[in-house]
Structure 1
């Protein structure tokens, strides 16, 4: 079975699988290269990278595959202007923009023939992004790791409402770890699925092994959203998340909560391996994953599972 969708046609990729742009996990060439070479869309996460490192990673991916790939740029980042320039200078075919609007930037990217995909928090934002001229939007539900939507809308409702709100292709994500999840996004009207946590549990992701082990051990109820009302993150529960929850319960003021939140970081867990005090960003789908698997092999398996799930649905209605 060949799954050709609006996204596979738009991006010129073989499979409707998008690897999430995850700080540190995909802030390198290895993961994006493996996913793109296997027929999905590999994504370099620019966020924590220095400009020279981003440029080098882009060149490494391009040298390793003729297939399309993308760079994720968080537009709030203090280095966002440099990242955007590098995307253009290095002729990256696809940009995935998050945490900021596209209006101020999109014209020069469209003029250069770059496909612009915008991460949106709700259907209204998706509609505004469409009006600004983006080519596709990503809708990621509350089950996802990292920074979930502040409105706490689950994946099924968010993806379906976004599909109904816009005419451009939609990519759905949040809580997806296997082919059944990918098939569910297609059933909701999305044209591809975004997988983050599943791809961070690969040998190619640039995370400390202790981080990967913590995610592998997590069950579906072992994540928590920490820092609601600030810059909330979904992470695997640990000593830091427990201390934060205890402080909230005890009625700590905003200053104390801010200090506690700022005392931990993703880098502390991702690079240093401190999985007690660092922020182990991961989604609820961690509970569906029990193995590390090479990214290229993973893409192939996900597609076999997706095809099997679709076949089962067909059999069920015949």
Structure 2
């Protein structure tokens, strides 16, 4: 890719493309390994994993490639301290952390040369993470799947605002499904792009086939935010989201709504295949995806698409 970026040298990757860390979908070795082998940054999502399974996945990726990969750790997770200990012991080359302060954790990872990318969803949090000493930022807009920006500001605006606020490399996330989206992030001043839903729709992503089929059928307007006012989740509309919408319209109090929202989980959909009542987390880009590919094939296609856009914008031949 001909876009200028500090990320390949910083992280040791070939392409400034990051596979989003997605609970269940990338809580395994297969997806991260395929993505890293292809030259992008593969990411294992620690969130729902048992310690032994996490260690096994890290070792499988380490054994399968000499290229860097990352471990995604939500710092609010009750097992975050254990995940961090495992990451240090296994010498994971890149840490991606979210929803917590990075400063206290950085020294021990710096000691063996790991890089730390921090996930943020506001310019203020980006500036704090930069001041703490992180190596780069993943900036998530409101169009992303899973836990997007609570204030629902789109990636188009959020990424640009953060780029203007910091000097370290920024990776844009949310609303990116192809090479045109990657090029758009560079146009905003980012130096890379993270794709979640697009990598969810790969052969290696470890979610139930019914989950992938639901995303494949979805249009660009078929997602919604559940849990506004708290830690919202963007997911496909289904019977569960309709029940939540009805409860909100009926004026249920905050406690009752919170209990209803917590009564269903991502696991219901991703592991058990209950796409009617589970949380089928996906970004608005679901409506731009119409195939399921091997992850390596996807990486190569993304690179070719992004380069074609760059050449077209430069007045060359795509």
Alignment TM-score, normalising by the size of structure 1: 0.98
Deviation per CA, 1:132-165: give whole Å up to 9, x if none.
Answer: 0100011011000000111211111110111111
Contact 1:32 1:42 in 2 (8 A): yes
- Count of matched residue positions in the alignment of Structure 1 and Structure 2: 317
Contact 1:4 1:16 in 2 (8 A): no
In 2, distance between residues paired with 1:200 and 1:23? 10
Contact 1:4 1:14 in 2 (8 A): no
Q: Which runs of at least 4 in structure 1 moved beyond 6 Å after TM superposition?
A: none
Task: Give the match for residue 207 of structure 1.
Answer: 207
Task: Give the match for residue 171 of structure 1.
Answer: 171
Contact 1:159 1:172 in 2 (8 A): yes
In 2, distance between residues paired with 1:192 and 1:222? 27
In 2, distance between residues paired with 1:265 and 1:224? 15
Task: Give the match for residue 248 of structure 1.
Answer: 248
Contact 2:150 2:230 in 1 (8 A): no
Contact 2:24 2:270 in 1 (8 A): yes
Does residue 220 (structure 1) correspond to residue 189 (structure 2)? The answer is: no
Report matched runs for 1:37-116 at 5 Å.
37-116=37-116
Shift of 1:4: 5.1
Deviation per CA, 1:249-269: give whole Å up to 9, x if none.
Answer: 111112221221111100000
Shift of 1:112: 2.1
Deviation per CA, 1:188-230: give whole Å up to 9, x if none.
Answer: 1111000000000011001000000001110000000011112
Alignment TM-score, normalising by the size of structure 2: 0.98
Contact 2:216 2:289 in 1 (8 A): yes
Deviation per CA, 1:287-311: give whole Å up to 9, x if none.
Answer: 0001001100000000000000111
